[in-house]
Structure 1
Amino acid sequence: MSIQFRFLLGISLSITLTGCFSNNRHQGEKLYAQKCASCHGEQGQGLGRLIPPIAGSDYLTDHRAELPCLLRNGQNEVIVVNGVGYHNVMPGNKSLSPAQVTNLLNYIESHWGNEAAPRTISDVQAQLDKCH
């Protein structure tokens, strides 16, 4: 294999791989905008006493292991966020893949004052496997 061919192959592979990864690079942010922001707000601020905030939310840290199931199945019980009780139904989304759930949670948990450790797809998959 000539040096020129290897060089061109390397550049071609690099461009291809970059394209693959760039498609999901901002997936969490896009999913939040599409599926969450209409209720929880563009900056995760929530809506008064109707919809809980995600920004600076103690619920995210206190219920970290439950969040993948909450996104997948929704919830209809009273929850307490930052000392305020909320009792509105949150629809789930069973069509989200484990990778999408991971990217969405990694986005939410690293913005608006939230500082959780990043999740891996395998961790999220294990938590999703435990959902009822």
Structure 2
Amino acid sequence: MASRFYVPLAALLLLALPSCFSNNRHQGQRLYAQHCASCHGDKGQGLARLIPPLAGSDYLADHRAELPCLLRHGQNEVIVVNGVGYHNIMPGNPSLSPAQLTNLLNYVESHWGNEAAPRTIRDVQAQLDKCP
């Protein structure tokens, strides 16, 4: 008789289990929408000669090790993306954790024609430790 109560209890616990863990699978996409899309566009297309594109960007591949620092601290120097110079300031976001930066970079570097290898939190933290 007691076994009849265990089955529904086990099923209830299994349904509640996912809420105990965070779902970071789409965190990069959410972070991009929240922090980046207003300037770089919903699809990373940038804005004319004002804001560089992230879609198909040679800058992402050429400056891979610098990207965590750029996101954390911003930049105010001229950058060249796909042969075009961009002179606007990009604000940094020091509130993003290494895990969030990792998810954000993995999203950007795997969408819109970008095909970089996935990053790990450890890699991003090591690059952040080297920021000037």
Tell me the TM-score normalised to structure 1 length: 0.88
2:13 partner amino acid: S
Partner residue, 1:62: 62
Check if 1:78 corresponds to 2:78: yes
Partner residue, 1:35: 35
CA distance in 2, matches of 1:110, 1:21: 22
Q: CA shift at 1:28, angstroms?
A: 0.4
Partner residue, 2:44: 44
Q: CA shift at 1:21, angstroms?
A: 4.0
Q: Give the root-mean-square deviation of aligned CA atoms.
A: 2.0
Q: CA shift at 1:11, angstroms?
A: 7.5
Moved over 4 A (4+): 8-11
Q: CA shift at 1:48, angstroms?
A: 0.2
Deviations for 1:58-115, whole angstroms, at most 9, x for unmatched residues? 0000000000000000000000000000010000000000000000000000000000
Identity of aligned residues (%): 76
Q: CA shift at 1:25, angstroms?
A: 1.4
Unaligned runs of 5+ in 2: none
Q: Pairwise mapping of residues 105-124 of structure 1 onto structure 2 (< 5 A)?
A: 105-124=105-124
**SS of structure 2 residue aligned to 1:71:** helix
1:116 partner amino acid: A
Unaligned runs of 5+ in 1: none
Q: CA shift at 1:12, angstroms?
A: 3.0
CA distance in 1, matches of 2:94, 2:131: 11
2:40 partner amino acid: H
**SS of structure 2 residue aligned to 1:85:** strand
Larger CA Rg, structure 1 vs 2:
2
2:28 partner amino acid: G
1:108 partner amino acid: V
Tell me the TM-score normalised to structure 2 length: 0.88
Q: CA shift at 1:15, angstroms?
A: 4.7
**SS of structure 2 residue aligned to 1:25:** coil
Check if 1:12 corresponds to 2:13: yes
